[in-house]
Amino acid sequence: MLNENFGIRNKYLSEGHYFKLRVEMISVLRSMKVGGMVGIIAAIALFSLAAPVTIHADSNWQKAANDNGEQNSLSLTLTGQIVSAGEQRWFQSASQNDALYALFNGQQVSISSFHYSLNAKVDGLSAEGMLALTFYGSVDGQTVSVTGGPVVAMIAGECFPSLSTPSNGACQPSDTSAIPVFFVAAGKITYSGSTIPVELIVELGFLNPYKAPLVISTQDGAFVLVSSYDRSQVVWHNVQLAGNLGGSLGSEAVSGSFVQTTNAIENFVTGKENESGSIAFTGMSDSALNGQGRYTGTSIIPTANEIDCSATITRIAGTCTLTGFNSSGSFIIQAEQSTITGKYNVTWSVPAVAFSGSISAMVAEHNGD
């Protein structure tokens, strides 16, 4: 089990020989049991995922709908949230050209070789995978090497459906899924002829998108590596979202609920995502609007309104950024006696776990049989 406190202390060397970054990461990570495996929880909530909330009419689908019969405009406002993070596959890698600096026992390491690739799966509240890491360098004429191994846990940033941040080291009893901000992997450090087992904490790219620096560290802070990345990607599967909506169908006031299932591929190097899935209107005050359909779209991580979380999360300058999410695309819903078509534009909160927006669509009534 990892210790409760994660402390990293570095210093500036005199005479300007090397630059040392002084950092402290105290009480950020706390040990816990997650899904039968040892995990750690970070007091941070961050997520970037797509869900349509703002919708406008789609001319191509409208043209097809025109042949069906009378059309009415549908204008709605929506609010919603993630209720399940679904299954996730995380991929991340970097090489020596991406490394910025490394420290071992507070001393600068001359890096001679470095590469890693992370492949991890999250299902519910558990994580598994592999960190293939090799690092070689020297300190005071002594060789230091670090190797990775199996992923043994994740550090959860947000729990669902409670939307709670697990600062006390545990999701709520009602929670069934979580989104990680770090993975924890088994590893080894060899120095001065001795090899010891360690647990390596790997920061994920969505905590600092667009190839910005990330931290890889032992839990006790003896080894710290700050590096950019050449790949950071997550595949989302069966993410569940839900919320409420209200507005007007022509001159008629309408309200109800919606549910979505999202599958997406998000790239933190480019800050873009492609998504698709199902959407349904349920419990509508005008039951003719109840129906199910599909949507497709793209999303981007905005740089406006981002929040620097380095001081509170990683404690290393420039290695943590909280962001929102903006999405757009098209949808079609088949109701019992009509077809609803349109487009959506999404604005998420920072961090991106809840959303709000509006719908502008067309409802084409079917001709009678």
Q: pLDDT tens-digit profile of 50-109?
A: 343 433 434 344 444 445 468 999 999 899 999 999 999 999 999 999 999 999 999 999
Least confident of 92-106, 198-212, 316-330, 344-358: 344-358
Strand pairing class (150-160; 37-42):
parallel
Q: Are 274 and 249 in contact (CB under 8 A)?
A: no
Q: Which residue has the higher pLDDT, 291 or 13?
A: 291
Residue 4 falls inside a structural domain: no
Task: Give the residue numbers spanning the domain of 304.
Answer: 59-86+234-365
Domains in the chain, number: 2
* Per-residue pLDDT at 338: 93
- Indicate whether 211 and 312 sit together in one domain: no
Percentage of residues of the chain with pLDDT beyond 70: 80
Work out the pLDDT band at 168, boundaries 50, 70, 90: low
pLDDT at 113 exceeding the cut of 90? yes
Q: Which residue has the higher pLDDT, 56 or 352?
A: 352
Residue 97 falls inside a structural domain: yes
- Indicate whether 39 and 133 sit together in one domain: yes
Residue 335 falls inside a structural domain: yes
Amino acid identity of residue 297, one-letter, is G
Residue 3 falls inside a structural domain: no
Of 205, 178, 71, the residue nearest 122 (C-alpha): 178
* Per-residue pLDDT at 359: 86
- Indicate whether 155 and 282 sit together in one domain: no
- Indicate whether 156 and 247 sit together in one domain: no
| 356-366 per-position pLDDT tens digit | 998 889 999 98
pLDDT at 140 exceeding the cut of 50? yes
Domain end: 173, 196, 229, which one?
A: 229
* Per-residue pLDDT at 233: 98
Q: Are 235 and 265 in contact (CB under 8 A)?
A: yes
Mean per-residue pLDDT over the chain, rounded = 83
Residue 79 falls inside a structural domain: yes
pLDDT at 18 exceeding the cut of 70? no
* Per-residue pLDDT at 345: 84
Mean pLDDT of the 333-343 span: 92
d(CA 208, CA 301): 11
Residue 49 falls inside a structural domain: no
- Indicate whether 96 and 80 sit together in one domain: no
Q: Which two tokens stand for residue 24?
A: 């402290």
* Per-residue pLDDT at 344: 86
Domain end: 229, 254, 278, which one?
A: 229
In degrees rounded to 5, what are phi and psi of residue 14? -70, 160
Q: Are 188 and 197 in contact (CB under 8 A)?
A: yes
| 265-317 per-position pLDDT tens digit | 999 999 999 999 999 999 999 999 999 999 999 999 999 889 999 999 999 99
Mean pLDDT of the 238-250 span: 95
* Per-residue pLDDT at 169: 55
Mean pLDDT of the 148-172 span: 85
Q: Which two tokens stand for residue 228?
A: 């950019």
- Indicate whether 300 and 265 sit together in one domain: yes
pTM, whole model, 2 decimals? 0.81
* Per-residue pLDDT at 368: 60
